[in-house]
Amino acid sequence: MDGFHPLDTVFEALDIYESVSATYDPSEISLTMLSGGEGLPTDERNIAVKAAMTLRESFGVRDGVRLQIDKRIPVAGGMAGGSADAAATLVACNELWELEASRDDLLEIAAELGSDVPFALMGGLAHGIGRGERLVPINADVHHYWVMVTSREGLSTPEVFAEFDQIMGYTRVPETLVPDTLDLQRALASGNAAEIAALMANDLEVPAFSLRPNLRTLMKSVGERGVATILSGSGPTIAILCNSKGAADQLARDLMAERPGLDILRANGPVAGAHVTEVI
């Protein structure tokens, strides 16, 4: 698996949005980060710039784009914000450059860019295998109400995976040891929060807590009034599943009042993946 870890996971797209604007340029690809992205690279080390470059190469065109990204998803928070930017860039440049790339074309390019980029394009709820890029949508008319507790200091995904290997004593994770998420997929499609809660688990919690010991305490203390808590991706964001919209709104308000040092976001899912919202 090229040093990547084989996953069996369920993705859910939440309504915490990044905004990417794309303006035509005859040749240059450039990026300006607006609020929230201070300090991030704006050259080809940025996955959004890489997305535009890869799309341009794949279609053999010379057009350019001026990208502007307004970030709301915390950087290195385990919520795939960078992947969302890359997915949005693919969708926007496909329109801007009139490439008429199909969804499958874009999904293929997305998989080259990062493990989570295909899901950021697809959105909704999906079962992911491989390194997370091989997806099967889970079609279900359900709504989930989440409270997200973010941390000001991010965690590096490769470091969390490396810590997992270190703790488990793996040089390579055997694919047969990857637990399957079949029951969780069924529970998610049924929409029953208690059932979902009983099956929610993230193997990256152990290494994330090992790198950031106070995260475990935080997870326990903030999650007590929700139905269940789980680390989002490779952390450090903690996701709390609630029973209803009202319960989630209330929990978010209570946490904000009681723990002013924490950054709390309310989120609902599943929602659509990257899409064009406005053409000017």
Question: What one-character-per-residue DSSP string does 3-31 give?
Answer: TPPP--EEEE--S---EEEEEEESS-EEE
| Four-residue CA torsion sign, 191, 277, 120, 137 | positive
Q: Is cis: bond before 6, omega within 30 of 0?
A: no
Secondary structure of residue 167 in the 3-state scheme: helix
Residues 85-144 that bind ligand C5P (CB under 6 A): 114-116, 131-132
181 vs 266 by CB, closer to ligand C5P:
181
Give me the least distance between CB of 47 and ligand C5P, in Å please: 8
**H or E segment to which residue 119 belongs:** helix 117-122
Any idea what DSSP says for residue 154? Answer: -
Q: How far apart are CA 213 and CA 176, in angstroms?
A: 29
Give me the least distance between CB of 81 and ligand C5P, in Å please: 11
Give me the least distance between CB of 236 and ligand C5P, in Å please: 15
Asked whether 97 and 63 are in contact (CB, 8 A), the reply is yes
Give me the least distance between CB of 44 and ligand C5P, in Å please: 14
* Integer CA distances (angstroms), 197 to 185, 207, 241, in order: 12, 21, 7
80 vs 93 by CB, closer to ligand C5P:
80
Site membership for ligand C5P, residue 181 (CB under 6 A): no
Task: Report the residue from 5, 50, 56, 144 that binds ligand C5P according to the rule CB under 6 A.
Answer: 5
12 vs 163 by CB, closer to ligand C5P:
163
Site membership for ligand C5P, residue 158 (CB under 6 A): yes
Give me the least distance between CB of 4 and ligand C5P, in Å please: 4
Could you tell me which stretch among 69-77, 153-161, 247-255, 261-269 binds ligand C5P (CB under 6 A)?
Answer: 153-161
First to last CA, the chain: 43
Site membership for ligand C5P, residue 157 (CB under 6 A): yes
Site membership for ligand C5P, residue 46 (CB under 6 A): no
Query: For 122, how many CA atoms within 13 A lie in the half-sphere containing its CB?
Result: 28
Task: Report the residue from 10, 161, 195, 249 that binds ligand C5P according to the rule CB under 6 A.
Answer: 161
Any idea what DSSP says for residue 79? Answer: S
Q: How far apart are CA 53 and CA 99, in angstroms?
A: 14
The one-letter code for the residue type at 245 is K
Site membership for ligand C5P, residue 50 (CB under 6 A): no
Give me the least distance between CB of 222 and ligand C5P, in Å please: 26
134 vs 216 by CB, closer to ligand C5P:
134
Asked whether 231 and 219 are in contact (CB, 8 A), the reply is yes
150 vs 157 by CB, closer to ligand C5P:
157
- Binding residues for ligand C5P, rule CB under 6 A, total 11
Task: Report the residue from 7, 20, 22, 138 that binds ligand C5P according to the rule CB under 6 A.
Answer: 7
Closest among 135, 159, 140 to 236, alpha carbons compared: 159
Binding site for ligand C5P (CB under 6 A): 4-5, 7, 114-116, 131-132, 157-158, 161
